Amino acid sequence: MAGIPVKLLHEGEGNPVTVELRNGEIYRGQLDAAEDNMNVQLSGVTFRARDGRISKLEHVYLRGSQIRFVVLPDMLKEAPIFKKVQSAKTKNEKDWRAGPMRSGKPLKKKSVYAKK
């Protein structure tokens, strides 16, 4: 089961993204495919090396373990995954207010000393 960042990355497929690697290289292009291990495939890429050189690349495949972060388009703020997360968060908050193992009824206290 994939986490929220990976699901959001899948939602970004087909959109322009910026990917920065752990070594400081920056790739900007269209996100063609994303895998659950965060490997990504980009097309129409502008590559910026650590020393500032810029070059154009047709296709790039980046290893997920080398990715520092991904900048996704702002339009993904309205992605369906966030609506699911918000509804789950609201449900958990309601459960928390009720308290653990409570059904809304007061707990009965047992006497420490038994009556004889």
CATH classification at residue 83: 2.30.30.100
For residue 47, the enclosing domain spans 4-97
Question: Do the domain assignments include residue 107?
Answer: no
Report the pLDDT value the prediction gives residue 5, as an integer from 0 to 100.
84
pLDDT above 70 coverage of the chain, percent: 70
Query: For position 58, what pLDDT does the model report?
Result: 98
> Given pLDDT bands bounded at 50, 70 and 90, which one contains residue 80?
confident
Long-range contact set of residues 37-40: C-beta below 8 Å, sequence gap at least 24:
37/64, 37/65, 38/6, 38/9, 38/64, 38/65, 38/67, 39/63, 39/64, 40/9, 40/64, 40/67, 40/70
Higher per-residue pLDDT: 101 or 34: 34
> Is 19 inside a domain boundary?
yes
pLDDT band, very low/low/confident/very high, at 91 (cuts 50, 70, 90) = low
